[in-house]
Structure 1
Amino acid sequence: MTAHALETTHLNKMFGALKATTDVSFRLEKGARHALIGPNGAGKTTFINLLTGVLPPSSGDILLNGESIASVRREGRVRRGMVRTFQINQLFSGLSVIESLALVISERRGRGWNWFRPAAALADIDREISVLLRDFGLDAVFDQPCSALPYGKQRLLEIALAIACRPQVLLLDEPAAGVPEADRKEVMARIAALPSDVSILLIEHDMDLVFNFANRISVLVAGALFAEGSVEQISRDQRVKEVYLGGAGHD
């Protein structure tokens, strides 16, 4: 049997007497474009923190390509192929775009800060950087410091840095949050063009983006899986409309 890209089995998280995640059994298929939605306080952030190792589960298991990673540290999960982006950008503010990409690629290749060498010795890294700059529309700003980029470009750079890690599973935490309307289409278009062998879990509150991107949706309510299905099934589910789609608040 082929392993799922990512799977949780009976995942629980307790904070004292508070149960933040309740018996969540979830599957992300290989190559999926899957969205996770839910109202305020649904537990989406806790769930993602459990997946990425920020928080340890109280019970249950997390499987990446069929292997348990519940006890693996955050950096170990990245090395095994799970990478995330954040609601608030996590960039190297003191570095330029090209330096940031070079650093991440060099770390992945085990070269660390040795990328400060003549370009001729780094032709393979140069080629990879060129592809990422092109694919994410960053060619014109390659030499600018990350902190000086327009916010839409910062979002694109963060995703480019995630892809530079060569993920098998990519967790995108509200990638269009805070991005001006004029740039949102580009951000989502670049995400839609990501390699098909990268399995993507999108956490998002903008339902137009969700419906345009995902081929499957999971709904989390009060820390538990409330509904799951295709875009059409979720969009027609009256229970989902009552607790989320028709609600006033999202997180």
Structure 2
Amino acid sequence: MTHALETRNLSKRFGSLVATNDVSLSVAKGARHALIGPNGAGKTTLINLLTGVLTPSSGQILLEGEDITATPAHHRVGRGLSRTFQINQLFADFTPLEALMLAIGEREGQGSMAWKPLSKNHAIIDEAASLLDRFRLTDALSTPTKLLPYGKQRLLEIALAIAARPRVLLLDEPAAGVPEEERHEVLGIVRALPADVTVVLIEHDMDLVFSFADRISVLVAGGLFKEGTVEEISHDPQVKAIYLGEDA
């Protein structure tokens, strides 16, 4: 069986600090897979390794069975691996429409073209409009990103990741920092992501994790501590003691 994403004995050391410790992880195609663990467990470091932001000290990373351990980050995106960040990485002065058109144009090999030719490409405009509608951003399509409510910015970042047409999408705490009144919109969009896109989610909100994931991996001190279904993880006494709390 070819997995969507796989690591084999993956480790990352910063001097004497072992941030990722011999992690072997398999994510099935089409899965909704959550990574949880206490602060400092190595979740974001693992995502940075998977996406090529960091280079592993040892081990392998496979995307749909192909070794991408040494593949540059931008080439991984081209091969179907996209991500969002714990802290938004957006163009503050772009509108959502402009940002999505640029992302779609880049995917189509037109990212270096001037705005005028892009603005005349009806296929790009139509796709950007469709994404704006799907991510409930139509009412803000001409608003500079820096002026959007934070929940809308999170939605835009997910929309930009989807614009790359990924087969594997890594979401690093998509609801982090979002005010309570905007969280439901973000969580609804996350749950409605296309079924043919494999999603790996890092999240501290257990309500989101348990309603979203079909499989959960627990990281502790950089290593893979437990893995199982939502039912298995939510009732595991060791996970409760280490992460969820004794009374969870």
Q: Answer whether TM exceeds 0.5 for this pair.
A: yes
Letter in structure 2 aligned against 1:213: F
Q: Measure the CA separation in 1 of the matches of 2:98 and 2:20.
A: 39
The answer for the alignment partner of 1:86 in structure 2 is: 85
CA shift in 2, pair 1:165/1:148, >3 Å: same
Question: What does the per-residue CA deviation read over 1:99-137, in whole Å, with 9 as the maximum and x for residues that have no partner?
Answer: 001111001100114252367841111110111011000
Q: Measure the CA separation in 2 of the matches of 1:226 and 1:54.
A: 24
State percent identity of aligned pairs: 62
Q: What is the 5 A alignment of 1:19-98?
A: 19-98=18-97
CA shift in 2, pair 1:58/1:93, >3 Å: same
CA shift in 2, pair 1:84/1:120, >3 Å: closer
CA shift in 2, pair 1:60/1:117, >3 Å: same
The answer for the alignment partner of 2:217 in structure 1 is: 218
Letter in structure 1 aligned against 2:210: F
Contact 2:101 2:118 in 1 (8 A): no
Q: How much has 1:239 moved relative to structure 2?
A: 0.5
Q: How much has 1:16 moved relative to structure 2?
A: 1.4
Q: Measure the CA separation in 1 of the matches of 2:121 and 2:48.
A: 35
Q: What is the 5 A alignment of 1:94-173?
A: 94-114=93-113, 116-117=115-116, 121-173=120-172
The answer for the alignment partner of 2:14 in structure 1 is: 15
Q: How much has 1:17 moved relative to structure 2?
A: 2.1
Q: How much has 1:73 moved relative to structure 2?
A: 0.9
Contact 2:41 2:221 in 1 (8 A): yes
Question: What does the per-residue CA deviation read over 1:59-103, in whole Å, with 9 as the maximum and x for residues that have no partner?
Answer: 110000100111011111111111110111111112111100111
Q: Measure the CA separation in 1 of the matches of 2:44 and 2:156.
A: 22
Unaligned runs of at least 5 residues, structure 1: none
Q: Measure the CA separation in 2 of the matches of 1:120 and 1:8.
A: 41
Q: How much has 1:18 moved relative to structure 2?
A: 2.1
Q: Which moved more, 1:109-118 or 1:169-178?
A: 109-118
Letter in structure 2 aligned against 1:106: G
Letter in structure 2 aligned against 1:207: M
TM-align CA RMSD: 1.5
The answer for the alignment partner of 1:196 in structure 2 is: 195
TM-score with structure 1 length normalisation? 0.95
Q: Measure the CA separation in 2 of the matches of 1:158 and 1:25.
A: 29
Partner SS state of residue 46, structure 1: helix
Contact 1:8 1:26 in 2 (8 A): yes
Question: What does the per-residue CA deviation read over 1:8-33, in whole Å, with 9 as the maximum and x for residues that have no partner?
Answer: 00111111122221111001111111
Q: How much has 1:3 moved relative to structure 2?
A: 1.3
Partner SS state of residue 226, structure 2: strand
